[in-house]
Structures are given as structure tokens and as C-alpha cells.
Chain A
Amino acid sequence: MQRRQFSAWGASALLLPATTLLHSGAASAATVGQPAHAFTLPDTAGRPVSLASFKGRPVVLEWHNPGCPFVRKHYSGNLQALQKEFTGKGVAWLAINSTRDDSADYMSPAQLGRWMDEKQAAATATLMDEDGSVGQSYRARVTPHMYIINAQGVVVYAGAIDSIPSARVADIERATNYVRQGLTELIAGQPLNTPTSQAYGCSIKYRNAAS
């Protein structure tokens, strides 16, 4: 009896230092090179959608708010085309709206669903994050803020949709689309040429931390 106890404590003495090491930074912001934070959010029809259910596929997170001119710039056709192209290649595309529900920009799930339908968006799901928790855990700042998560669940891109920060539709053609470039590289098994960039757009209307 005694001996068994001793060996068990001996094992623990070996394991515990490793334990503290493992937990020292276990939870940090989902940044490039880090595992993407797990989340489950309702879509515009109220069905829960969880990031984990797309494990094994690349996932794009698109921070979304139709009230933002930068989002409308890219929904003039650019985002729909991107969504169609890559969902067709097995990528899951999640548009996430973190606008708080008392903001002028807020759209109810039904309104947002209708807006996406009207724009003929091809996102895998449009998700509601009114309390901003998922947005903040990804440190999403603006709409559109774009993230690419690889099939292993690691964030491989965070930043702007393209290289020209403007609200002008005419600039889309001249810009380098970082999301298309990144997804193409990811699917080809290459490292991403541009893993981060400065996201541009409107501030996400997060629920005020103080209220």
C-alpha cells in the first residue's frame, strides 16, 4: 500500500512542473500561429453553429456589418465572388456580426439573413455575436476584419481583405486580395506570403464594456 502511494507521488513530482509550464499561457488572443478560439454562435435562423464542426476544413471568418460602407464596398460583388469561389473548394465561410443590439447599425437575425440573401452572399453561415465576445476574443477591430483558419484549427491569416484601404469600389480591382491569395496558398499547401495585414474599415460597434 505504502509503496504504491509513493510511486504515485513520485510520478506527480515529475509531471507537475510540466503542468505549470503548459498552463502558463494556455489562453491568449487568437492571433496568427495560435489555435483559433472555439466558439458556438447562432446563425440568422437561430441554429447553433460551432467552429469545431468545421475541423478538417479551412475556415474564413469575416467580420460583418451591412451598415458599414467598407463592408458594402466589398459586397458590391467582391465578397460574394470570393465566398462562391472558396466554399466551392471546401472552405467554410463564416460571416460574423458583432454589432451590439442597441447600435443604429444593428440588424435583427431575420433582417441580416434577408440582406445576405438579397446580396446573393455565399457564406456558409452568417452568425450573430451581439455581445461581441467572439469578436473580442479574436481581437477583431473593424468590419471587414478577415481571418483564415487552417484545417488544423490554427489561425494563419488575420487582417484586411485587400491591400488598398478605401471605401471606393473602384479600388478593388487594383488591390491585392489578401484573402484570395492566402486561401490559394493554403489550399496549395504553401506557407502564406502575407500572414498579417492592417485591417481597415469601420470600428466594430461592441457592447460598451463599462455599461
Chain B
Amino acid sequence: MRQPTLSSATRAVHRLFGLWLLALLLPWATQAQGLLGGSASQAIVQTEQVRAELLAHAPQGAAPGQTVWLGLQLTHQPEWHTYWKNPGDSGLPTELQWTLPPGVSVGDIAWPTPRKFPLGPLANYGFDGTVLLPVPLTVEPGYNGSHIDVKLFASWLACRKECIPEEGDFSLRLPVNGSTALYGVSFDAALAAVPKNLPTGESRLHPENGFLNVALTGLPAAWRGQRLELFPEAVGLIEPGSAWTQAWEGARWTARVPLSPHRSDSPAQVPLVVAQAHPPGEGPGSPGVRLDVPVQGSWPAVAALPVAVPDALQAALDANAARGSSGTATGGGSAVPITLWAALFGALVGGMILNLMPCVFPVLAIKVLAFAKHADDRSAHRANGLAYTAGVVLSFLALGGLLLGLRAAGEQLGWGFQLQSPGVVAALAVLFTLIGLNLAGLFEFGNVLPSRLASLQAKNPTADAFLTGVLATAIASPCTAPFMGASLGLAIGLPTAQALAVFGALGLGMALPYLAASWVPAVARALPRPGAWMITFRQAMAFPMFATVVWLLWVLGQQSGIDGAAALLMLLVVLALLVWALGLKGRSRSVLAGLSVAGLLWLGVSAGPYITRMAEPVPGAVVATAVQGVSWEPWSAERQSALLAEGRPVFIDFTAAWCVTCQYNKRTALADDAVLADVAGKGVALLRADWTRRDPAVTDALARLGRNGVPTYALYQNGQPPRVLSELLSVEEVRTALAGL
């Protein structure tokens, strides 16, 4: 009787004592093994950046059916971090590979809520400080060992700005019947930081072009009104580093997040983790929630076709390309790149549109004049049309060739470069003054020019038309027109022969309407018969010429300052004196002509430098607009980046004084009250990049938009491709673009 009682009591005491001893000793034992680095247990790996330790939590032992957690605890040196399951723009998630005895298995890492680490335009998701990555362990019912030998090979990427891939082998022996609870607090904290699953409820995602619209419901009430952070579990869906917007509408939280342009998946459900933004301290982020949000609507096409080519043209080109590539697999040199055809087509159309741009105003008068001259003679019209076309095309080729040559020589130049030089502007002003004076009847070229040249002009009226073409090109071509901008931008990068072809197409396009008109008899018939009106008309045309001179002087004034403009005006006055004097007879002719030549020479020497020198650019002038708080700031790449980094959209007006179209847009669409009100409403920053003088920084910024000329209007928003507006702005277009922000 006694024995059983005694034995059962002793057994109970033994068991209790054993449990107590195990509970006391085992965690210490595992730790000791770790510290000793014995072959059976090695729980800590220490690098310069990270201390990694394998931990276990089995308060009720590790028998089948018990809750058992393993975990890798990473303690980072200050500034260092490792990554979440979606590392963001770069990095790698920490990886755990387990080796376990049969009958024992582990699940996936129960990732705590991460933090966001911005780095320039990129961002990563991960953990700094101390983080424990818990993994649930399952022991099958049949497992009958006294302990579980756990082996882990872990690899993690430790990053500050630089990254160091690290790895380690860990091992640990877990008793089946003893409690392992030394790190209970760590595991409790880690599991509390794991995002809680929320029911989907009314939460939805709406993808649209370039953006993901997020609407979530059922978020914790305590978060209302606070800024949240959004972590998609899938890699490569959004742009983690880009600016995005969010808002609370009562209990509903909405956000608009830029989609990654490299996105390859179009999932129907997107698992998201949402947490309060900017959690204090270090380690995991503040505990978040996890939702598996259904996607409504369809994802935008990932691989959109090039948009610079009209669809029909693109289809034809594709067919061509397919034919070419099926013939020769490696694609010989015969296939002309798609983009060249697009550029040629764009150049032809752009050249035609150029005739309708405000830019053409300065030369409208000479064009009209050239046409009216031979109102009665159809064959002369045709000859003139051809000569004009030749003049325009050859001038375009010459300008294009010069531009390419200078660029090859290392100059940072773009289309319209000729008017960036005050010397050229002054020369054109002189030329237009002479034409104006001639039209007004102050002098005849016969009296001024050497007689052989003058007679050539008289005998060959087509030479006139040719020169008109040259002039029209020199003055009117610097602006870019719709279609033309993209073609020019492309041409600059093409091989010389192809680029010249684009320039030629531009010229042909510009001359085409005149050429066509000169070949249509109806046009010639529509003109009034020649008569006395021709003289009046001719004299009247002098005034548009002088207006062109005013414009050129204004351009020169922007380039070389008021002294330069005044010097040029003085030069023009003395020049007018000279041509008038040359038309006189006898003694007064020689005296006055001699005096004016002397005056010209003296002016050339003394005042010439004022004209050709470049005045120091005036820095930092902020130009106010009609709307309070909206003003134009001078553009610089730094200012642009700074504004974008603040999250403000930026509108850039690439302009030049010599670009009449730019001036027109500036005073119409860009000065419109409704446009400026939208600008104020959206907090858009206005920057003006002035290309009146040569400026490699502006040339470079244009090149990045695929452009090489002005006007160019671009709307930038952080995380989005810049949007280029058309060259001839309309109020509606600008407002639509602003509304899309």
C-alpha cells in the first residue's frame, strides 16, 4: 500500500523537479550552446552590419499539436537595414532555408509590418533596429524524438547606401518535452507587429493609365485623418519612390499611386499592407493591416505601341518591318528604321503647318509680294514656285547641315540656332531694312548694286523667288510647328544622310502650299490684273518689312542689351542715308555717299562690338502673372528637381525671344485667366526656360523630351513621364493637361 503511494509521490516530485529544471536550464543551455559554437548548436552569426540569431519559442514544449515558433532575429547597426518580402525598388527579402528532421515542417515567415526607406527617387521596404522574423513550426503527430534538431541557412542583404549580401548557418536543438520560453517577449512583440487580416468589405482597386486608384474601407478608426503608408506584397506593381496622394473621406481612405512602367502582372486580387506612415523608433513599422483587395476594371496595357506615329502609318510600317525581318533574319542594313519614316512624314506635315504658325508673320509680306508680282503670267508663276521651293529646301538643307556639323564639332545647338547669334539677327535686320526701303521706293537696286548683279536680278525674276525662299527659311523656320518638333528631335540623333533627308522634307513641306498654288491656274486667275494698284501695294508692303525689323531689334535687345539695339538702329539710319545718297545725281551723291560710308565704317568699328556681344544673362527674374501667387520662375534643372521633390507638378515653357509662336502662346493660352486659375488650384510651379541665347542646359533638357527646338511645353509630375503639349497651345489643351494632374 505504501509503496505505490510513495512511488507515485516520488514520481510526481521527480516530474515536477524535472520540468522545473528543464524550464530553467534548457533556454540557457541552447544559448550556451550558441555561444560556445558547438557543432550541434550555432545560433548567432555576427557581421559588421548585422547580428543574426536563431531563436525558438515553445512555452508548452514542442510535442505534436503545440504552438511552436522559430525566428531569425536581426539586429542592425545604425543606418543599416534589411528587407521585407517586397523589398521595393531594389534589395532582396531575407531568405530562410530550413533543414528539419522528418515529421517536422515550417511555414512561411510571418512578416512584421515594414518601414519605408527612401533613397533619392527610389524607395525600399524593410527593417532597421532589431526585428524578429517569426516562422511557425509544425510537429506531425507521429514524431517521437526527444528533441528537434533545427538547421537554418539564412541569407540577407544588409544595405545602408551600399549593400552587402550576408549569410549564415544556424542550428538549434529544441526539446520536445521541455518549455522554451526565454524569448517570449520578443516573439510576442514580433507577432503583434504582423499586420492583421482585414475583411475586404467595400475595398477596391481601380487601375488607370499610369496609376492605381486605391479605396479602402474598414481600416482602424484610430487611423482616421492620419497619413498612411501602402505596401503591396507583390514586387514591381507600383513605383515605391514616387510621390503619391491620399485622402480620407469619412471612414473611407483613398490613394492614387503611380504604377510601375515595368509592371508585368495584371492580377485580379492585390494583397496590400497598410500602416501608419512614419512610425517612430526603429525595428518593424507600426502594426498594420493586410487586405486582399479585388481589382475593378482592367489594367492598362503594359506594352503600349509607340505613340509618335499615326496608327495607319504604324500598321503599314509594321507590315514593312515584318516583311523585312522575315526576309533576312538578322536584318540587313536595307531596312530603314521605322522612326525615320515617321520623322520624314512628320517633317513634311510639320513644314506645311509652319506656314500657319505665327512665326511666319515676319515673312508673310515678302511671300505675298512675290506672288503678286507675276499675277498675269502663269508660266512665270510656275517657275517662281519652283525657284521658291528650291530656295526653301536648299536653305533648310544648309541650315540643317550646318547644325549637324556644329553639333558634331561639340557645340550644344538646336534648331533655330542661327537666331541665337546677335550677328545673324543684326544682318537680317539690315537686309529687311534694305528690302523695306526698296519697296517704299527710296532706292532701286539698280542704283546700288553693281550693274551686272542688278541686271541678273532683272533678267531672272526667278532668282528673286529663290532668295525669297532663302529669307523665308532664315526668318520663319526657327520656330517648331506641330509634328515638326518630334521629327527634329529625332533627326538630330539620326545618321547625317537621314537627318538631312528630314530637313529636306521640312523645307519641302513649308514650300509645298506655294508650289501647289503656283501650279493651280485658278489661283493665278483669282489675282487682280496688274495695274497701278501694284505700285501702291508694293509701297504698302514696306511697312510689314519695317515691322519685321522692329521684331528683330527686339530680339537683338534681349541678346545684346539696349546698347546693342541702339547701335544697330544707328547703323540702319546711316545705311538708309547711304542707299538714298546713292540714288542721287552729281556732286551731292558722291559727298553724301562718301560721308555715309565713312559713318558706316566708323559705326562698324565703334558700335559693332555692342551689337555682337552677348549681354550677361539677367539671373533670377521672377515674372508675376495676372493671378495672385502665380508667377514664372526662371528654369534650371536644379529648381525643377527641387520642386518635383516637394511633390509639386512643374510646367516648363521652353521659349525664345526670336520664336514668334512662343510669344504668341505666352500672350494667349499661357496668360489666360482660366489657365492661371487652374495652375493656382493645382499648385503647379511655372518655370520658363529661355533659349534666346545659346544655352546647353536648355538644349539638353529639350533633348530629354526628344526635342530640339522651341516652342516646347512640358508638364512634369513626380513619378510620371513628362507630358509634352502641342506647339500651338490652346486654352483647352492646357486646362485638360492640368486637369489630368
Contacts and interface: CB of A to CB of B under 8 A. Distances in A.
A64 B397 CA distance: 40
Given A20-B733, A158-B262, 5 more contacts: A35-B306, A35-B308, A151-B331, A152-B339, A202-B159
B161 A205 contact: yes
B124 interface: yes
A210 B119 CA distance: 11
Pairs of residues from A and B, 8 with the lowest C-beta to C-beta distance, nearest first: A33-B303, A52-B493, A167-B165, A28-B721, A19-B482, A203-B90, A206-B120, A210-B645
Contacts of A23: 482, 485-486, 724-726
A19 B303 contact: no
A174 B262 CA distance: 25
B89 A141 contact: yes
Interface stretch (B321-329, B429-437, B606-614, B655-663): B321-329
A209 B644 contact: yes
A29 interface: yes
Contacts of A159: 262, 264
A169 B726 CA distance: 50
B302 A32 contact: yes
B303 A8 contact: no
Interface in B319-374: 321, 325-326, 329-331, 333, 335, 337-339, 349, 352-353, 355-356, 368, 371-372
Interface stretch (B246-254, B679-687, B700-708): B700-708
Given A1-B526, A27-B724, A151-B331, A141 B122 contact: yes
Interface stretch (A76-84, A109-117, A119-127, A189-197): A189-197
A100 B161 CA distance: 12
A103 B161 contact: yes
B165 A142 contact: no
B262 A18 contact: no
Interface in B456-494: 482-483, 485-486, 489-490, 493-494
Interface string A173-211: 000000000000001110000011111111111111110
28 contacts: A16-B482, A20-B726, A23-B482, A23-B485, A23-B726, A26-B307, A26-B308, A27-B723, A29-B721, A31-B262, A32-B303, A33-B303, A37-B706, A38-B490, A56-B335, A56-B337, A139-B260, A151-B331, A153-B337, A165-B92, A167-B165, A168-B165, A200-B90, A202-B163, A203-B89, A203-B90, A209-B121, A210-B645
A52 B494 CA distance: 6
Contacts of B304: 31, 33-34
Interface string A1-26: 11110011101100110111111111
Nearest to A139: B261
A71 B24 CA distance: 49
A3 B338 contact: no
A159 to B, nearest CB: 7
Contacts of A51: 493
A85 interface: no
Which of A27, A159, A210 has the most chain B CB atoms inside 10 A of its CB?
A: A27
A175 B14 CA distance: 57
A69 B163 contact: yes
Contacts of B703: 38, 40
Contacts of A204: 90, 120, 122
Nearest to A205: B161
A12 B355 CA distance: 10
B171 to A, nearest CB: 21
B6 interface: no
A152 B157 CA distance: 38
A4 B89 contact: no
Interface of A: 1-4, 7-9, 11-12, 15-16, 18-29, 31-35, 37-38, 40, 48, 50-53, 55-56, 67-70, 90, 103-105, 132-133, 136-137, 139, 141-142, 151-154, 158-159, 165-168, 187-189, 195-210
Given A4-B517, A202-B162, A209-B644, A50 B261 contact: no
A56 B321 CA distance: 12
Contact of A67 (B162, B235, B714): B162
A151 B345 CA distance: 20
A151 B337 contact: yes
Contacts of A16: 482, 728
B453 interface: no
Contact of A69 (B124, B164, B368, B705): B164
Given A189-B329, A210-B642, A152 B122 contact: no
B236 interface: yes
B618 interface: no
Contact of A31 (B303, B490, B517): B303
A9 B89 contact: no
A196 B339 contact: no
A188 B302 CA distance: 24
Contacts, number: 225
B305 interface: yes
Interface in B129-158: 155, 157
Interface residues of B, number: 86
Nearest to A8: B513
B706 A38 contact: yes
Nearest to B89: A141
Contact of B326 (A1, A12, A69, A189): A189
Contacts of B321: 152
Interface in B509-526: 513, 517, 522-523, 526
B164 to A, nearest CB: 7
A4 B371 CA distance: 11
A4 B482 contact: no
Nearest to A208: B120
A22 B486 contact: yes
Given A33-B304, A34-B306, A153-B338, A26 B120 contact: no
A198 B236 contact: yes
A51 B704 CA distance: 13
A202 B90 contact: yes
Given A9-B356, A19-B482, A26-B706, A203 B92 contact: no
Contacts of A187: 329-330
A210 B645 CA distance: 5
A15 B477 CA distance: 19
B13 interface: no
Contacts of B493: 38, 40, 50-52
Contacts of B410: 48
B634 interface: no
Nearest to A199: B262
A203 B122 contact: yes
B90 A26 contact: no
B114 to A, nearest CB: 16
A167 B283 CA distance: 24
Given A27-B705, A137-B704, A151-B331, A206 B494 contact: no
A8 B704 contact: no
A209 B527 contact: no
A90 B264 contact: no
Contacts of A15: 349, 352-353, 482-483
Contact of B352 (A11, A67, A69): A11
Nearest to B160: A104
Interface string B109-127: 0000000000111101000
B302 A33 contact: yes
Contacts of A22: 307-308, 310, 482-483, 486
B258 to A, nearest CB: 10
B722 interface: yes
A96 to B, nearest CB: 15
B641 interface: yes
A206 B121 CA distance: 7
Contacts of B723: 24-25, 27
B495 interface: yes
B91 interface: yes
Interface in B372-395: 372
B642 to A, nearest CB: 6
B640 to A, nearest CB: 9
Contacts of A165: 92
